[in-house]
Amino acid sequence: MTLLDHLRGEMAERAAKALIRRRRTLDTPCGPHAVVDGREMLTFCSNDYLGLAAHPALAAALKEGVARWGGGAGAAHLVSGHYAVHERLEARLAEFTGCERTLFFSTGYMVNMGVAAALVGRGDAIFADRLNHASLVDGALLSRAEHHRYPHADTAALARLLAASTARRKLIVTDGVFSMDGDIAPLAELLALAEAHDAWLLVDDAHGFGVLGPQGRGALAAAGLAHWRLLMVGTLGKAAGLSGAFVAGQGEVIEWLMQTMRTYLFTTGAPPALAHALLTAIDLIEHGDALRARLTAHRQQLHDTLTLHRWQLMPSPTPIQPVKIGDNAAALAAANALWDAGLWVPAIRPPTVPPGTARLRISLSAAHTADDIARLTESLHRIEAQP
């Protein structure tokens, strides 16, 4: 058999397990009502939690940024690709998160791929929640440190692993909000364990930033936590409505990351026009209490009106509202039935979630209406009742 034959066989196996994914094409800006593959659809699959992705103020800020700063950055930040507007954005993010300093990146994946290797390596140990995002898993593997995975949110199991470790340096890694379950990590307990065992704590708050805490400052702000050993990763392509990411923490720690993170050192800086627009996005988040209140109302409406018998609406205090179905094919069939009814709700299957926990991942946005939520609920009731 040739390499291509092997590839074809593996693709056939994926198809037999209902694991083939399909890319769809939007013809309209990001929003709850979109034209997708030529069809008008009501969408519940975007991470645009505050409905800012198509906000006129962000479009205007991007246009203004391009007029002021042009297109690309031209080089890595530490060569000649760091502009005054990048500096202003990092200062604004530090002020907003309550941290001493931040470092701006093109994507959250780049941050999570690089932080672990800058803090720990061979002879050290990483302790990671089993449901962490793939970028955190990949970053842990690239660090070459021992990689210990504890059961989801099980701080007792983590405590035992930490106590048994003889590693020189330790790093605890967790999502702030888990992207496929919508639950929040036990952050206070994790920080207490980090202090007790002299470990770093890295929190990827991609799905909490902009949504949780006072003025949307994130899951750590909601828990009232701050410490020099604590690092926060925030994503700017979800609630912030644009693109990019940052890591925030104590000043000396961020300086160390800037000097040593390969994913920062060896990549071209993000366009300065993007940084210009992100300054507006942070302002919109900070003054977005009404948008967060709409999210809360949508979530409450869903829980008050959705009554399932074979499926399970998983508990989540966030805009991520998963409906667990279990079987891959059944989850895919439910997503297809919703699609046929004009609703776009993705089916999430392994390896994104553990085997046997395939689900519909409902993502709510402040841009949805109460009528949108009612239409979703009615459709789910009808489809679940079908044999």
Q: 362 phi and psi, to 5 degrees?
A: -85, 125
Distance in angstroms (rounded) separating the CA atoms of residues 245 and 116: 16
Instruction: Give the residue among 99, 47, 53 at the shortest CA–CA distance from 280.
Output: 53
Instruction: Please say whether the beta carbons of 291 and 51 come within 8 A.
Output: yes
For residue 114, say whether it is annotated as part of any ligand binding site: no
46, 179, 316, 365: the active-site residue: 179
For residue 83, say whether it is annotated as part of any ligand binding site: no
Q: 55 phi and psi, to 5 degrees?
A: -65, 130
Catalytic annotation present for 316: no
Q: Which strands make up the sheet holding 146-150, listed edge to edge?
A: 101-105, 245-249, 230-235, 199-204, 170-175, 125-129, 146-150
For residue 352, say whether it is annotated as part of any ligand binding site: yes
Instruction: Please say whether the beta carbons of 317 and 17 come within 8 A.
Output: no
148, 170, 238, 298: the active-site residue: 238
For residue 51, say whether it is annotated as part of any ligand binding site: no
Instruction: Give the residue among 92, 138, 357 at the shortest CA–CA distance from 263.
Output: 138
Catalytic annotation present for 179: yes
Catalytic annotation present for 207: yes
55, 77, 86, 207: the active-site residue: 207
Q: Indicate the annotated binding residues for pyridoxal 5'-phosphate.
A: 108-109, 179, 207, 235
Residues annotated as part of the active site: 179, 207, 238
Q: Indicate the annotated binding residues for substrate.
A: 21, 133, 352
Q: Indicate the annotated binding residues.
A: 21, 108-109, 133, 179, 207, 235, 352
